[in-house]
């Protein structure tokens, strides 16, 4: 479940980065860097992180203000890393079920909207989108901070909650200790106009 949440978060973050960049002018944007951190709170207190940088995708601006984007951003769920091999294996095989293939091995974010963003926007904004995770599509929403960088690139730091039950993911349990049903996703993404993606790691 944690892996799924992490992937979902990664996908959403990627989309946010591209969406923000597109609000300025270029019609097509591609993710060039992405780091996702999924904070998984435990039922007994404390938490652990799941991380990945395997994010790819291209988005096209369809409406400048408020910003609306066509296209998809994808995260390879098989790359989620919690720092413990056995825990990673359980998440991928038992909870995310990545072995089922399409719709399960990759999280995909689409239909991105930034209702408060327009041409040249910089600052904090809400975002919405549709996340495909564990074979299920569900709306997601959160907050993003957009910063413009040299060369026309845009950096986006985003955060949002993911409820595992929304995607039919059973709450992980091991020896009486489990993960809470809602995890928090935090991510940093960079999107560039036109360029070749550099995150297929």
Each domain of the chain, given as residue ranges in start order, spans 2-193
Residue 24, pLDDT > 60, answer no
Banded model confidence at residue 182, pLDDT cuts 50, 70, 90: very high
User: To the nearest whole number, what is the mean pLDDT of the chain?
Assistant: 80
The confidence score (pLDDT) of residue 11 equals 45
CA–CA separation, 67 and 51 (whole Å): 28
The confidence score (pLDDT) of residue 171 equals 82
Reported as half-sphere exposure (CB side, CA atoms, 13 A), residue 21 has a value of 32
Per-residue pLDDT of 89-118, as tens digits, reads 888 888 889 899 888 998 888 998 988 876
Banded model confidence at residue 3, pLDDT cuts 50, 70, 90: very low
Banded model confidence at residue 26, pLDDT cuts 50, 70, 90: low
Residue 197, pLDDT > 80, answer no
In the numeric block, which tokens belong to residue 196?
């070749």
Share of the chain above pLDDT 70, in %: 81
- Backbone torsions φ then ψ of 60, nearest 5 degrees: -125, 130
The confidence score (pLDDT) of residue 117 equals 76
DSSP per-residue string spanning 89-108? HHIIIIIS-GGG-TTTSEEE
Per-residue pLDDT of 133-169, as tens digits, reads 999 999 999 998 988 888 888 888 888 899 999 999 9
The whole-number average pLDDT for the span 66-75 is 86
Contacts of 156 (CB under 8 A, 6+ apart): 13, 16, 17, 19, 20, 21, 144, 145, 146, 147, 188, 189, 190, 191
Q: Given this structure, which CATH class describes domain 2-193?
A: mainly beta
Place of tokens 């049903």: 181
3-class DSSP state for residue 85?
helix
Nearest to 187 by CA among 16, 3, 4: 16
CA–CA separation, 78 and 50 (whole Å): 12
Residues found in the chain: 201
């Amino acid at each position: 479940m944690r892996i799924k949440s992490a992937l979902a978060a990664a996908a959403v973050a990627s989309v946010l980065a591209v969406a923000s960049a597109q609000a300025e002018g270029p019609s097509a944007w591609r993710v060039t860097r992405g780091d996702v951190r999924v904070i998984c709170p435990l039922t007994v207190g404390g938490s652990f992180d799941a991380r990945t940088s395997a994010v790819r995708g291209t988005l096209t601006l369809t409406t400048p203000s408020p910003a609306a984007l066509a296209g998809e951003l994808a995260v390879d769920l098989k790359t989620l890393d919690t720092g413990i091999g056995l825990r990673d294996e359980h998440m991928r095989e038992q909870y995310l079920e990545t072995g089922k293939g399409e719709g399960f091995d990759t999280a995909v974010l689409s239909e991105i909207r930034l209702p408060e963003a327009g041409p040249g926007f910089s600052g904090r904004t809400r975002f919405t989108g549709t996340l495909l995770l564990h074979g299920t599509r569900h709306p997601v929403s959160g907050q993003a901070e957009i910063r413009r960088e040299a060369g026309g690139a845009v950096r986006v730091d985003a955060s949002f909650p993911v409820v595992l039950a929304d995607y039919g993911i059973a709450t992980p349990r091991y020896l009486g200790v489990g993960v809470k049903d809602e995890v928090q996703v935090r991510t940093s993404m960079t999107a560039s106009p036109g360029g070749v993606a550099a995150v297929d790691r």
